[in-house]
Amino acid sequence: MNKDFFAHKTAVIDEGCSIGNGTKIWHFSHIMPNSTIGNQCNIGQNVVISPEVVLGNNVKIQNNVSVYTGVICDDDVFLGPSCVFTNVTNPRSGVNRRAEYSRTHVGKGATIGANATIVCGHDIGTFAFIGAGAVVTKNIPPYALVVGNPAKQIGWMSEYGHRLEFDQKDIAVCPESNETYILKEQQVYKTHLVK
C-alpha cells in the first residue's frame, strides 16, 4: 500500500485499500476493505468508509460521516459534519438486502451540508449545494441549491459557493471568481464570457 498519507494512530485501515498521496485520516476513523481514496483527501474524526467505496481527489469529509457501499464521490466533494447517506430504501432487519445496495453518485465539487440526509439511488450533480439538514429524495441538477425536507431548490450556486443571480439575459457572475454562468432550459452552465 502507498505510505505517503497520514493516518492517526487510532484510525483502522483494512486490507485491500488504496489511499492517495497527501491524504489525512483522523482519530477513530475506519477505512473498510477494498475502498479507494484519492490524493489530498481529508477524512475527519469518527468517519467510516465502507467496503468498495470510491472517493476522488481532494474530497473533504467532516466528522461523524459514514460513506456506505454504493456511494461514489467525485473529486472536490465536501461532506459536512454528520451528514447521512443510505444504501437501502426499504431496510428490514430480518431481510438480507446486501446484494441490492442502491447507488448514490455525488458529482465533482458538490457540497453536502451538515446533518443532511441523502436517500439512496439519487445523483447529486456537479457543484450542487445541499443545505444543512436537507433531506434529498430526488436527483439534484448541477449547480442547484436545495434546502429543507423534502429538499426543494431555492436557487443556484457557483463553483466558489456563491448564490447566482441571473439577469434578464439569464447570465450571472460569481462575485468571488468573476466567472460567468448561463441558465438555459433550467440547467446552468459555466461560460467563457467575460462580463
Ligand X SMILES: CC(C)(COP(=O)(O)OP(=O)(O)OC[C@H]1O[C@@H](n2cnc3c(N)ncnc32)[C@H](O)[C@@H]1OP(=O)(O)O)[C@@H](O)C(=O)NCCC(=O)NCCS
Question: Which one of 154, 165, 177, 195 is in contact with ligand X (CB under 6 A)?
Answer: 154
Is the Cβ of residue 29 or residue 35 nearer to ligand X in the bound state?
29
Question: Which one of 106, 147, 164, 172 is in contact with ligand X (CB under 6 A)?
Answer: 147
Asked if 41 is part of the footprint of ligand X (rule: CB under 6 A), the reply reads no
Closest separation in Å from C-beta 147 to ligand X = 4
Question: Which one of 24, 60, 163, 190 is in contact with ligand X (CB under 6 A)?
Answer: 163
Separation CA 50–CA 128 (nearest Å): 24
The dihedral over CA atoms of 32, 54, 48, 93, expressed in degrees to the nearest 10, equals: -80
* 106-125 binders of ligand X (CB under 6 A): 113-114
> Alpha helices, DSSP H only, in the chain?
none
Sheet with 54-55, side-by-side order of all strands:
18-19, 36-37, 54-55, 71-73, 104-106, 123-124
Decide if 31 contacts 53 (C-beta within 8 A): no
Closest separation in Å from C-beta 78 to ligand X = 7
Closest separation in Å from C-beta 141 to ligand X = 16
Specify the length of the chain in residues: 195
Of 45-53, 117-125, 131-139, 184-192: span binding ligand X (CB under 6 A): 131-139
Q: Using the CB atoms, write b or e for 134-165: b if 16+ within 10 Å.
A: bbbeeebbbbbbbbeeebeeeebbbbeebebe
Asked if 44 is part of the footprint of ligand X (rule: CB under 6 A), the reply reads no
Is the Cβ of residue 22 or residue 133 nearer to ligand X in the bound state?
133
Question: Which one of 7, 46, 120, 133 is in contact with ligand X (CB under 6 A)?
Answer: 133
Residues that bind ligand X (CB under 6 A): 80, 113-114, 131-133, 147-148, 154, 163
